[in-house]
Amino acid sequence: MRDRVRGHAGATDFDIVIDGEPREAARALARAASGQRASAFALSEEWGGWRVVSQAGGWQIDVERLRGGSLEDDLALRDFTVNAIAEPLGDPASGSGELIDPLGGLGDLERRRLRAAGPRAFPDDPLRVLRLVRIAIELDLEPTRQTAVEAAAHAGALRAVSPERVFMELRRIVATPRARKGIELMREIGATAVVLPELDALRGVQQSHFHHLDVYDHTLEVLDQTIALSADPVAIAPSVISEEHASQLATVLAEPLADELTRGEALRWGALLHDIAKPLTRAVSAQDGPAGERRVTFIDHDRRGAELAQEILGRLRASSRLGMHVAALVRNHLRLGFLVHQPQPLARRAVFAYLRACEPVEVDVTLLSVADRLATRGARSGEAIDAHLRLARTVLGAALRWHSEGPPDALVRGDELARELDIAPGPRLGELLEELAKACYAGEIATHNEALAYARAVLASSVDRTPKMGRA
C-alpha cells in the first residue's frame, strides 16, 4: 500500500493478514497458482506465518494470522506508520478498496517522515532499530525526533538479535545509493557501536598530513567515491576510465557474487572496511616529518585489516565467499599505490605481478584504490592523485582483460615440462610454470619451443646459483 501511494506500480511482494489459519490459506494460494510454479512453506514459527513464492511469476505473498482483536490492533503492532496501511481483500486488479490507515501513515508519507507505529515497536523487535535506518534511506524519509530517541534507547538490544537478521538489514543499507547517510544515521542512534564496533572505533583516529580527514570520515568518503565511480566512472575519473572500459566495468560490477550481492555491492563493503585495522596499527615515529610533525604510520593495516574484515563478516554470518572477497579487497587496496613509485610506464612483469597478487579482485580493487586516492586530499595531494590516476588507467585496462580472458598460460603443460626438464612434480615445477606465464605476459616468449628453452635457461641459472658444499 505504501509503495502504491508513492506511485510505485507493479508490486511483487505482498503481506496478507487473515483471521484464520495461515497454513491453509497459503496452501490454497499455492494450489490456485500452480501454473506459475508456486509453492508454500512455513516462514515464522513465532507468528505462524507462511510464504507463497511463484518461481515463474516472480512474486511472493506472506500470510500471517491477525494479531490483536481487530485489524486496527494488528496494524498498531507494525514497525512504522508508513508500513501500517491496509486494504481489504477484493479484486486485486482494481485496487479500488478504501485504504485503512488508523495510525496516519498516509500523512507521514506525504510529509516524508518516519514514525514508529507505537511504543512497543522497538521493544517487540530491536531489529527495527536498523530497519529504521534502512527504510529512511531507501524511501528518503526523515525519522521523527521521538522515533529516533526511542530507537537509540533500544540500540543496545541489537546484541540479542540473530546475526543473520542484522546482516540482512546492513546488506540493504550498504547497497543503497545513500549508504553514507545510512551509516551516519546508524551512528547517531548508537547502532554502529553495537553491530559494527570496529567501524565506530575509527572515529577520531588521526592520520598523517597526507590526509585531510580522520580514519572514520575518510572511510565514509571512500564509500561515497566508490558509489559514485560505480554509477558513473567516466564522469568521476575521466582520465582513468574510457567509455569502453566503463561498459566493461559495469558488466563486472553487475556480476552476482554472494549473499544476494553483486560485485559492485560487495565493493562497498571493501570501501567500508579497507582501513578497519588502522586503530590497531597506528604508530607515531620518533623522527619529525617533512612538515615538522611526528610521522603517523599504519604499518601492516592492510594484512591485519583483511583478517579483521573476514572476522567481522563471519560474525555477521555472511557467506565465506563474501568474507574472502572483501578480505582480498582490503589486503590488496594499497598495492597500486606502491607501484606509483616504480619507473613509468610500468613494466609488463610488474603489471603481471600486480594482477596475479590481486586476483580474483583485480578489477574491483583497482577501482577501490582510485576511490581511496580521490578521498585522500592532504599535503601534495594534487600530484599524488594525478600520478595514481595515470597508473590506474593502464592497470584497469589490463585488469579488465585479465578478468574476461583469464591469466596467460605457460605455453607448455606441467607434465610435459617435468618430463622435458627431468624434474619431479612439486613446488619447483610450479615456480617454473609461473615464471613462464609471467614471461609470456611480458611478451618475452610466444611459442611452445620458446617456453621450453626459457624454462631450461631458468633452471640452469638457478642450479648455477646453488651454493657448492666444500670438504671439511
- Predicted confidence (pLDDT) per residue in 15-47, tens digit: 899 988 999 999 999 999 888 888 999 986 666
Decide if 106 contacts 99 (C-beta within 8 A): yes
Specify the pLDDT at position 241: 87
Decide if 202 contacts 305 (C-beta within 8 A): no
452-469: pLDDT as tens digits: 999 999 988 875 544 443
User: With 50 as the cut, is the pLDDT of residue 160 above it?
Assistant: yes
Specify the pLDDT at position 73: 93
User: With 60 as the cut, is the pLDDT of residue 206 above it?
Assistant: yes
CA 362 to chain centre: 15
Q: How confident is the model at residue 2 (pLDDT cuts 50, 70, 90)?
A: confident
- Give the residue-averaged pLDDT of 374-402: 89
- What percentage of the chain exceeds 90 in pLDDT? 71
Write out the three cell numbers for 69: 482483536
Query: Is the omega angle on the peptide bond into residue 360 within 30 degrees of 0, that is, cis?
Result: yes
- What percentage of the chain exceeds 70 in pLDDT? 93
User: With 70 as the cut, is the pLDDT of residue 10 above it?
Assistant: no
- Give the residue-averaged pLDDT of 65-75: 90
Distance between CA atoms of residues 29 and 53, nearest Å: 10
Distance between CA atoms of residues 235 and 15, nearest Å: 41
Write out the three cell numbers for 85: 496501511
CA geometry: angle 145, 156, 220, nearest 5 deg: 70
- Give the residue-averaged pLDDT of 288-314: 86
- As a whole number, the mean pLDDT across the chain is 90
Specify the pLDDT at position 43: 80
Distance between CA atoms of residues 170 and 187, nearest Å: 13
Specify the pLDDT at position 95: 52
CA 230 to chain centre: 12
User: With 60 as the cut, is the pLDDT of residue 93 above it?
Assistant: no
Decide if 331 contacts 303 (C-beta within 8 A): yes
Write out the three cell numbers for 205: 583516529
User: With 80 as the cut, is the pLDDT of residue 386 above it?
Assistant: yes
- Give the residue-averaged pLDDT of 73-88: 93
Specify the pLDDT at position 210: 74
214-226: pLDDT as tens digits: 999 999 999 999 9
Cα–Cα nearest to 109, from 75, 78, 139, 149: 139
How many beta carbons lie within 10 A of that of residue 341, not counting itself?
A: 8
Write out the three cell numbers for 452: 621450453
Write out the three cell numbers for 418: 617435468
Specify the pLDDT at position 37: 87
235 to each of 247, 367, 383, how far by Cα in Å?
Answer: 13, 14, 20
User: With 90 as the cut, is the pLDDT of residue 291 above it?
Assistant: no
Instruction: State which H helix or E strand residue 288 sits in.
Output: strand 283-288
Q: How confident is the model at residue 472 (pLDDT cuts 50, 70, 90)?
A: very low
